[in-house]
A and B are shown apart, each in its own frame.
Chain A
Amino acid sequence: MRLVSAENLSKTYLLGEVEVRALREVSFSIEEGSLVSFVGPSGSGKTTLLNLIGCLDRPSGGTISVAGENPAAMSRMEKARFRGDNIGFIFQNFNLIPVLTVYENVEYPLVMVQSVAAAERRRRVGELLDAVGMTEHRDKRPDQLSGGQKQRAAIARALVAGPKLVLADEPTANLDHATAATIMSAMRDMTARLGTTFVFSTHDPRVIGEADVVHTLEDGALVASRKGGE
């Protein structure tokens, strides 16, 4: 099953008079349950592409479908609903909500995005905190956590609502290598266990190897795609 398919996807930014072609007719597809990474130098278009897959931005040309839906045909509100129901996000800077505890941050999508009953909420949040090894820190605020702990809380938040697709833009960029490795294997475990499709961007060669499929971007164009371990 294809979860994402992109066809001649382009994105052009206008910087005053200058056109910046961030993506040039990129075509690819992502299979359900796979672990996919986009790699490439800075400015090659990774973030731009992830934003398109995440229905956060509109392409300038070409088409993309996510979970069988065409985001271009959705209203602002429909897109917000669609993201809430189908996509989990992990941000480079973790982006936890500073006034909420770890537990409340993980619970947030179940309360403020969906409305899951209290008992079910407790069960799912507890399970995920366990899975990412954050149970003992559940009552801490984000500013009381290390980078790796923050990212683990962020992973739990991205997964708690059971999304089909999790997107992570350079999830390990702000972490040391050892932490990055544990985060990646945690991610691998979780997605394997839940059957979640996981797409991330990176230019860290040590985490590239974790992916099933690696797409390489250069200057906005897709220059290579290979299966992991090849």
Chain B
Amino acid sequence: MGNVFRIGARNLLRYKRRTALTVALIAVGVVFYLVFSAVSGSFKNMMVGNITDSFLGHLQVHRRGYLAAIENLPLHLNMQPGQTKKLEEALLSTEGIEAFSPRLKFGAAFSNFEETTNIRVNGVDPGKEFRTCPLLLSRIVSGSKDPGVLGRGSILVPVLIARGMGVKVGDTVVLVATNRDGSVNGKTFVVAGILESATGPGGRDGYVHIEDAREILRITGEEASEYAVRVARFDRIDAVRDRLEANLSDLKTKDGSPALMANTWQKLSPFSNIARMIDALSFFIRILLITVVLISILSVMIMAVYERVREIGTIAAIGTLPRRILSLFLAEGLLLGVTGAAAGSLVGAAVIAILNAAKIPFAFGQQDNLLLAPVIDGPEMLTTAALVIVVAVVASLQPAWKASRMEPIEALGHV
């Protein structure tokens, strides 16, 4: 076996420039893929982290049917006190949950005593909410960023509305909402902070204390429209959702289907489409990489076989078995693949390290101070290298097979 590789290596070194070119082509493909995957992955993670941490949460639990009607913030589809009690028990007993926050959501009229506009209000428990969406506080552009900012009687106003209505921190405003029975109720609030808009459907969301929300809506029990949930490990999010749904399975509607639904951020944000697109692009580049490796190795090996017909005839005549001849050429393809994959991985890792060291800033949403932090994990690198090597061997199969099937007498006559 060692001899097969030794001969393969010598044959590759025979055409140094061609071999170097092929290895370089494969390596460039690998570098391109690794860097793209790392950069897009970093961008994706940052984007997703931004959305989930600033308003969405990782998971959300709603009563069945609420999500479909969420544009109207339907109060009659809120989870009832009995359900929220059970839900909190389930949340506490489900493994992998770091924090959760009940939200009472409603649409209201927002007035500065001169003009009125619509606002979506989230009644939250500030402590729980800031733990579930740790970036929420950092979205406060004007006013205190202290977790105590959202006391009773305070409101965080989205910048969109604050600007439109000319409202500043310290101003008094009125929220008027229609409660479930159709009667109208109002309450004054002091503006405690202005929220910069998060990207996505959080742009018109204001925040008040959940007790104030209950007061306006004249709700007495522990009712909630949704629970936002933060998981301990983002990559285990689906498993946590499944466990949570299992723990909730005894909460049934009258027709026997589960009463509460847990959904991950993908289901809740249109940005999951962008995330999916990034993944698709990454997949496409992987296909491109495979094609590059396939074509470059195939052409080099076809050429190698063609140039060496007489040599193949010679070794076949003196009794080298076809499978040995096959392995000689496969070894060459394998060596090309291994060298290209190794070189590409090294250079790719170096480029990624340089990108990290360069601390390249980019903007997403309102945040323009994000740093590009491309990372590529070991397994990803190894699978890419393994893929390249496998493709290299597969590409050599046809030429190697052709070499092994040559009739020695015809091959010897070939000049």
Contact = CB atoms under 8 A, between A and B. Distances in A.
Interface stretch (B123-131, B248-256, B313-321): B313-321
Given A77-B322, A109-B319, A112-B320, A98 B311 contact: yes
Interface stretch (B3-11, B170-178, B233-241, B372-380): B3-11
Interface stretch (A79-87, A185-193, A215-223): A79-87
Interface residues of B, number: 22
A112 B7 CA distance: 11
B324 A112 contact: yes
Contacts of B412: 56, 91, 95
A83 B318 contact: yes
Contacts, number: 66
Nearest to A112: B320
B145 interface: no
A84 B409 contact: no
Given A81-B319, A89-B318, A98 B14 contact: yes
Nearest to B405: A76
Interface string B268-312: 000000000000000000000000000000000000000000110
25 contacts: A56-B408, A56-B412, A57-B409, A76-B322, A80-B316, A81-B321, A83-B319, A84-B321, A88-B318, A89-B318, A95-B311, A97-B7, A97-B315, A98-B14, A99-B7, A99-B14, A100-B10, A108-B315, A108-B318, A109-B318, A111-B3, A112-B3, A113-B318, A113-B321, A158-B318
Counting chain A CB atoms within 10 Å of each CB, which of B14, B316, B318 scores highest? B318
Interface string A89-125: 1010001011110000000110111000000000000
Given A99-B13, A108-B318, 18 more contacts: A51-B409, A54-B317, A56-B409, A80-B320, A80-B322, A83-B319, A84-B318, A84-B320, A85-B319, A89-B314, A89-B318, A95-B314, A97-B7, A97-B314, A99-B14, A100-B7, A112-B4, A112-B324
B176 to A, nearest CB: 89
What bracket does the count of chain A residues touching chain B fall in?
Answer: 20 to 34
B259 to A, nearest CB: 71
Given A56-B408, A56-B409, A112-B315, A99 B10 contact: yes
Contacts of B319: 80-85, 87, 109, 113
Contacts of B409: 51, 56-57
Contacts of A100: 7, 10
A189 to B, nearest CB: 22
Which 5 A-B residue pairs are closest in the complex by CB-CB distance? A84-B319, A99-B10, A95-B314, A83-B319, A113-B319
Contacts of A112: 3-4, 315, 320, 324
Contacts of A81: 319, 321
Contact of B317 (A56, A97, A99, A111): A56
B279 to A, nearest CB: 45
Contacts of B14: 98-99
